[in-house]
Each structure stands twice: as structure tokens, then as C-alpha cells.
Structure 1
Amino acid sequence: MRRVGILGGTFNPPHCGHLLMANEAFHALKLDEVRFMPNAIPPHKEMHNLVTDEQRVQMLELAISDVPYFSIEKVELESGGISYTYNTMCLLQECEPDTTFYFIIGGDMIDSLHTWYHIEELVSFVQFVGIKRPGTAAKTMYPVQLLETPEMNLSSTVIRQRCQDGGPLKYILPEAVEAYIRKEGLYGARKTT
């Protein structure tokens, strides 16, 4: 059985917190790979349509390009519509019956698991892996394997605001992602030539 981690999110933009979560889970669980899975329309977050799906994928490709055990799972983007984890994981399980999936979530998502679509069925065939985040309780009645990892209080919202304000992005974004954001003038960042 292959052991595959799935880290879903808007990745708007992808940042060092995402990479840290994926890397910690990869090593702690001895996974074969971790796939970053961008949502089409997330059910739990307001989507800021400041960038295209293609730009989000491009930023992810830049962020993970030097890590051989990271890849991008585009199934939710290709399906379109609201991205319900239950539907996605049913599809992945059907396509890859010889794979055990570990769905990696942050503390904020752990706290809201009770609101997820078909959560009772989902926990019966997907192992949830939780990474604590500062300011979250990281508690739920559902089975979640909590990992002891360095905590990073970083969000895409903060990064988008910094881009708009001209604030520093070094060490919170991979260099290639920062360069891409500046080159494209995303999130109100000043364009570079």
C-alpha cells in the first residue's frame, strides 16, 4: 500500500507554513509523497478571486519544484464547483484502491470538522492528520492523529495584506513564489521588471 498525504487549501498564495506542514507530515508518517490539492471553490472559506486557478497552480509548482516527494493534485480544480473533501476522497480512493490517504489539516480545520460534508463517512476511510496552529484549540470528537511540529502562525490573508501594503515577504514565502507575485503584480504587489 502506498501512503499518500493530501494537503488541501486555496493556496492563495502558497507559503512556507504550507510547506512546513507537508514536510512534517511526510517525515512523521513515513509517507511516499504529499500532494498539494488546490480547491476549486472551498466550502469553509471565502475565496478571494484575486488570481486565476492557473496562477495558483503555477505558484505551487514554483514552491515545490525542488522537493521530489511533493506534487500537485488537480482533481478538485478539474471537477470544478464546491470542493467537498468527501467527494474528492471517494474519487481518489476509487482511482487508487492500493493507496492509504492521510488528509493533513491545520488546527482551524480540526476545530470545524463537525461542519464538514459527510464527515461521519469520511473518517471511516480517510486518516486525518492534524497540525496545531497558534490560536486554535485543535480539538474534535473525530479521530485525528495530531503531530508534534513547530507551530507557525502564518496565513495567506496576512501575506495578501503585506503584498498590498508593500510589507516584507522574505522567509514567509518561497523566493520563487515571491518573485512570481512581484513579476505578475498579484495581490496589489508592486510589479518588478
Structure 2
Amino acid sequence: MIRGKLKDILSLNGISIFIGIVGGIFGFVSIFINDWEYKIGVKWFALVVIVALFVILIMAKLAYELYTEIGLVRDRVIRVISYLPNSSTFLIDRNAYFEYSARVSVFYIDHDFQVELAQGYVQNIQDKFIQIKLIEFNNDFVNNYPIVIRQLNNNNSDVLSTLVIKNYIRYTE
């Protein structure tokens, strides 16, 4: 992620913009410098300032790009569209978080607690949707939430909206 963003910033377009910004600043500052042969070597000082400005601008742009991308990732909500009980398959919106055959855990939200419902894997990725095949239901969930299971089999929209799908496997003892 960082390498890709840095490559975009250091492209020909990005470098041209940075050269223009630093050159403009340096041209404006050079109006006020009358003697370039001063004792401390104003030329060397100007070179250090130019290099420092390049580095600062590149780092600031990289930090901004990463901040905006992390903000997009954090705000993404995965919506379960439907459940096909015959094949134990969820249909969700397509997103960049899931790859083919990735293992997932499905949680049911019960009064702000996430209770594990099942484990599965990404079976198929379509143009707009992803199919998640459930491997096994959690026995505790099946025993404690039979009404939710029944509503899930009937594609109850309230139950589908309380499901959370995460791309990791929960540790079980």
C-alpha cells in the first residue's frame, strides 16, 4: 500500500508539481537575497532548503494519501444481501477485503455483543457480489438462538442486517 502510494507520488506528474512548488518558493525567496557569496554559503543553504522542502512535501503527500485510504477502509460496511439455506451461502456486496477461498467468520450482533454464528469461505466473486459458503455453524449459537436460525432461513432482513462478516478465523479451544 505504501509502496504503491509512493510510486504514484514520485511519478512524472508528482515530481513536476513538487519542482514547480519548490521552484516558486525559491524564486520568491531569491528576490530578498542580494549577496549569494555570503560567508556561510547561501547557495549551499538554499540547496539544503530545497532538498528539505522536497522531502517534506513528499512525506506530507504520502501521509495524506494513507490517511484518506485508511479512513475509507474504516468506514466500509459489509452488507449481507441474502441467504440461501439450501446451499448455506450468503450473498454480500463485493469489496476489496475478501479474496477467493479466504476463510471468514460470521457474527450475529446481540445487544452490542458479537456472537459467532458460523465459519465459512469465499466461494465465488462476481461483478457486484461475493458468495460466502458456510462450512459449519457454531453449536452454541444453534442451541441458544433457534429463533434467529429460523429467521435467517426465511431471509429476514432484520437478522441479515445484524450479521457481521470478518476475514479472519476466531480461535476456538
TM-score bracket for the superposition, by shorter chain length = under 0.3
Q: Which has the higher contact order (CA 8 A, sep 6+)?
A: 1
Higher helix share goes to which structure?
Answer: 2
Higher strand share goes to which structure?
Answer: 2
User: Which of the pair has more CA radius of gyration?
Assistant: 2
